[in-house]
Amino acid sequence: MNGNHQLGIRPGETLGQSSAQGLGSARGNGFLPRLMRVETVREETHDVRTLRLVPLDPKAALAWRAGQFAFFSVFGAGECVFTIANPPTRAGHIECTFKELGKVTTALRRLSAGQLVGFRGPYGNSFGVEDWAGRDLVFVGGGIGMAAVAAPLRLVLDRREEFGEVVVLNGARTAADLIYAGEMAEWERVDGVRVVRTVDPGGERAGWAGEVGLIPDVFERLGLAPDGRVVVVCGPPVMLTFMLRALDRLGYAPEQIVTTLENRMKCGFGECGRCNVGPFYVCRDGPVITAAQLRRLPADL
Ligand SMILES: Cc1cc2nc3c(=O)[nH]c(=O)nc-3n(C[C@H](O)[C@H](O)[C@H](O)COP(=O)(O)OP(=O)(O)OC[C@H]3O[C@@H](n4cnc5c(N)ncnc54)[C@H](O)[C@@H]3O)c2cc1C
Ligand code: FES
């Protein structure tokens, strides 16, 4: 067992392996995307949408692991990076959930079912889900960070009997900003799964039955003892900072905490140096990283 496996992370693969195994970049040109057709569009909130994509070539193989990311492109606008939001247990298509922020995400927001996008990937390492067998798990997603939690969570739910208790803690600024509303209701009905949703003070709407408070505070109120639990936490940097402090106060070891990094990227496969923090290349050595590894990175993250 190597160091990464002990930390609950599967190492990344080289571009060659990704290309050979999955719907990656065409061999010989790492930047060449494959064509995907938008099969369905789901509006999650006023500025977040989920796309379900299928390969234009029905014979194209799709292979990826939970936690990996890809580049999604719109002709004439450019490309941007999203986590692959569906796990490999839900095969045959690719899902991404994204927030409209700038040029490419605005162009992606204008697409309708039937239109084409470019896709290159998968890239990066992945969550070491196999190392979580029998353990209690907590998935914490803040805002659009819930999209990064979605693939390992859905994978665990698809293989429910292999894991202990599952807690999902999802927070957003307001009730209108919470994503995956329909699915959350389904998850709540699964045996041994507890879903907690929270909004910032003032973000409630009439009849709001969830929690009110910041995610780290709500986590502390849940009283979840460390007891070998794995905590997957993704969200904005400020939330992550306060979550790590809360988990430290509660006695969680940094090795029990896994997150993902979202540094700006250009190539996605360790060639351009756009995403690195010291010797750590987020696209190649991440994006999945434990709090223990995070502590060892230079402070300029
Ligand atoms: C590994 C990884 C996984 C990601 N997964 C998702 C995901 O699942 N869903 C999602 O909505 N977003 C995700 N992101 C962020 C996403 O890549 C950016 O929001 C997107 O590229 C913005 O593109 P744009 O052209 O629309 O915006 P731009 O015009 O490029 O920028 C618009 C605004 O967003 C800011 N911005 C752009 N990229 C980033 C970034 N990486 N980090 C912080 N701020 C940024 C810019 O500073 C600017 O203020 C991920 C990023 C990485 C690196
Ligand atoms: S994005 Fe090019 S090295 Fe990471």
Confidence of residue 6 (pLDDT cuts 50, 70, 90): very low
Ligand 2 geometric centre to CA of 239 (Å): 25
Rounded mean pLDDT of 282-290? 97
Distance of CA 144 to the CA centre of its chain: 9
Rounded-to-integer distance, Cα 180 and Cα 177, Å: 10
* 3-state percent breakdown (helix, strand, coil) of the chain, nearest 5: 30, 30, 45
Rounded mean pLDDT of 227-236? 97
**Fold that domain 3-123 belongs to in CATH:** Elongation Factor Tu (Ef-tu); domain 3 (2.40.30)
Rounded-to-integer distance, Cα 57 and Cα 256, Å: 41
Rounded-to-integer distance, Cα 10 and Cα 152, Å: 12
- Which secondary structure element, helix H or strand E, spans residue 35, and what is its range? strand 34-43
Instruction: Find out if CATH 3.40.50.80 is the number for domain 130-260.
Output: yes
Q: Where in the chain is the domain with CATH 3.40.50.80?
A: 130-260
Question: What was the pLDDT predicted at 300?
Answer: 61
Beta strands 34-43; 137-142: pairing state = unpaired
Atom index in ligand 1 nearest the CA of residue 107 equals: 26
Q: Where in the chain is the domain with CATH 2.40.30.10?
A: 3-123
Rounded mean pLDDT of 127-142? 97
Confidence of residue 301 (pLDDT cuts 50, 70, 90): low
Confidence of residue 12 (pLDDT cuts 50, 70, 90): confident
pLDDT in tens, 185-229: 999 999 999 999 999 999 999 999 999 999 999 999 999 999 999
Ligand 2 geometric centre to CA of 282 (Å): 7
pLDDT in tens, 49-93: 999 999 999 888 899 999 999 999 999 999 999 999 999 999 999
Q: Pick from 43, 45, 74, 81 the residue to mutate for probing ligand 1's pocket: most ligand atoms within 8 Å of its CB.
A: 81
| Whether the Cβ atoms of residue 52 and residue 82 lie closer than 8 Å to each other | no
Question: What was the pLDDT predicted at 140?
Answer: 98
Question: What was the pLDDT predicted at 4?
Answer: 47
Residue 28 clears pLDDT 80, i.e. is over it = no
